[in-house]
Amino acid sequence: MEPMTAPASRRVLLAAPRGYCAGVDRAVIAVEKALEQYGAPVYVRHEIVHNKYVVQTLEKKGAIFVERTEEVPEGSIVMFSAHGVAPVVHEEAARGKLATIDATCPLVTKVHKEAIRYANEDFDILLIGHEGHEEVIGTSGEAPDHITIVDGPDDVAKVEVRDESKVVWLSQTTLSVDETMETVDALKQKFPLLVSPPSDDICYATSNRQAAVKAMGADSDLVIVVGSKNSSNSIRLVEVALDAGARAAHLVDFASEIDEAWLEGVTTVGLTSGASVPEVLVDQVLEWLAERGYADVEIVKTAEESIVFSLPKELRRDLRAEAAELVADK
How far apart (Å, rounded) are the C-alpha atoms in residues 71 and 281? 31
pLDDT digits (tens, 9 = 90+) for 150-207: 999 999 999 999 999 999 999 999 999 999 999 999 999 999 999 999 998 999 999 9
Q: Check if 135 is active-site.
A: yes
What is residue 146's predicted lDDT score, i.e. its pLDDT?
99
Helices (H), ranges, the chain: 22-38, 52-61, 87-95, 106-120, 134-140, 177-190, 204-217, 232-243, 279-290, 313-329
Nearest to 21 by CA among 13, 29, 12: 29
Preceding omega of 17 cis (within 30 degrees of 0): yes
pLDDT at residue number 1: 45
Whether domain 22-105+309-328 has CATH 3.40.50.11270: yes
pLDDT at residue 9 in the model: 86
Across the strands, what pairs with 167? 124
Q: What is the pLDDT of residue 254?
A: 98
Provide Rg for the chain, Cα atoms.
22
Residue 83 counted as an annotated binding residue: yes
Is position 90 annotated in a ligand binding site? no
107-190 is classed CATH 3.40.1010.20 = yes
Q: Which residues pair with 225 in a beta bridge?
A: 251, 272
Q: How far is CA 250 from CA 120, 218, 313, in A?
A: 43, 15, 38
Q: Give CA–CA dist 133/152, Å, rounded.
A: 14
Task: Reply yes or no: is the peptide bond before residue 41 cis, omega within 30 of 0.
Answer: yes
Report the side by side order of strands in the sheet with 167-171. Answer: 147-150, 124-128, 167-171
Is-contact 130 172, C-beta < 8 A?
yes
76 is in an annotated binding site: no
Pairing outcome for strands 63-66 and 42-45 = parallel
Determine whether the annotation assigns residue 276 to a binding site.
yes
Closest CA to 101 of 25, 22, 37: 37
**Cβ count near 23 (within 10 Å):** 26
Instruction: Supply the pLDDT for residue 186.
Output: 98
User: Where in the chain are the domains?
Assistant: 11-20+204-301, 22-105+309-328, 107-190
Low-confidence ranges of the chain (pLDDT < 70): 1-8, 322-330
Architecture of the CATH domain 11-20+204-301 = 3-Layer(aba) Sandwich (3.40)
- Closest by Cα among 307, 317, 229, 314 to 23: 307
pLDDT of residue 125: 99
Query: According to the annotation, is 130 in a ligand binding site?
Result: no
Of 286, 290, 269, 215, nearest in space to 12 by CA: 269
- Model pLDDT, residue 320: 77
Q: What is the pLDDT of residue 6?
A: 47
pLDDT at 197: 96
CATH topology agreement for domains 11-20+204-301 and 107-190: yes
Q: Say whether 173 counts as a known binding-site residue.
A: yes
Is 203 assigned to a binding site? yes
Q: What is the pLDDT of residue 7?
A: 47
The predicted pLDDT at position 25 comes to: 98
Of 135, 239, 287, 305, the active-site residue reads: 135
